[in-house]
Amino acid sequence: MVKEIKIIKKSVFNDHRGRLWTLWKQSDYKNLKFNQDKISISKKNTLRGFHCDFKSWKLITSAYGKFLLVAVNMNKNSKNYLKHNSFIIDHTNPKTVLIPPHYANAHLCLSKFCIFHYKWSYKGKYVDAKKQLSIRWNDPKINVKWPIKKPILSKRDSKSKFL
């Protein structure tokens, strides 16, 4: 795994009512100020991404469901350029993944539906989708072994460029 990406496993409290876990505490991220939270809800076999900007940190977890998360280093000056890591994120085994700037991320919903939650930290203004880097989900230079051949894609993702 590329060292810049961090997996954070939190303690979970389970009882007859269900489950409780803490997604984040500011004291755990003293050098990051989170600006906004986003949620995407996807049905099975929906693939979102790859999307990237060069200043945002993303703290990602599953509020519900199971998805495959892939993060790719897009920093051309890095020895890890175009290397990727894959993670199965599942609400039944809560963990968060902290992805630094210069990484493109994509996720594929593996369960009936997924609620993908991510916190964004960045300086200045938010980088709008139109100004983000979008890369084709099946780009051969990245070479991700996705478990399906024909995912459900947005217009943006289906028309993204190859590297």
Which pLDDT does position 17 carry in this prediction? 97
Which pLDDT does position 16 carry in this prediction? 98
Domain that includes residue 102, residue range: 34-158
User: For the segment 2-16, what is each residue's pLDDT rounded down to a tens digit?
Assistant: 668 999 988 899 999
Asked if residue 103 belongs to a domain, the reply is yes
Range name among 11-15, 42-46, 134-138 with the lowest pLDDT average = 11-15
C-alpha 71 chain-centroid distance? 7
Asked if residue 7 belongs to a domain, the reply is no
Number of helices (H) and strands (E) in the chain: give both, helices first: 1, 12
Domains held by the chain: number: 1
Mean pLDDT of 28-41: 93
Asked if residue 100 belongs to a domain, the reply is yes
Mean pLDDT of 149-158: 97
* CATH number of the domain bearing residue 117: 2.60.120.10
Which pLDDT does position 61 carry in this prediction? 97
Contact (Cβ atoms closer than 8 angstroms) between residue 116 and residue 159: no
Asked if residue 61 belongs to a domain, the reply is yes
Asked if residue 70 belongs to a domain, the reply is yes
Which pLDDT does position 2 carry in this prediction? 61
User: For the segment 77-103, what is each residue's pLDDT rounded down to a tens digit?
Assistant: 999 999 999 999 999 988 999 999 999
Closest CA to 137 of 77, 69, 88, 87: 69
Asked if residue 2 belongs to a domain, the reply is no
Which pLDDT does position 100 carry in this prediction? 96
Mean pLDDT of 150-159: 97
Question: How far is the C-alpha of 112 from the C-alpha of 107, rounded, in Å?
Answer: 14
pTM metric for this prediction: 0.93
Range name among 38-52, 93-107, 117-131 with the lowest pLDDT average = 117-131
pLDDT of 1 > 60? The answer is no
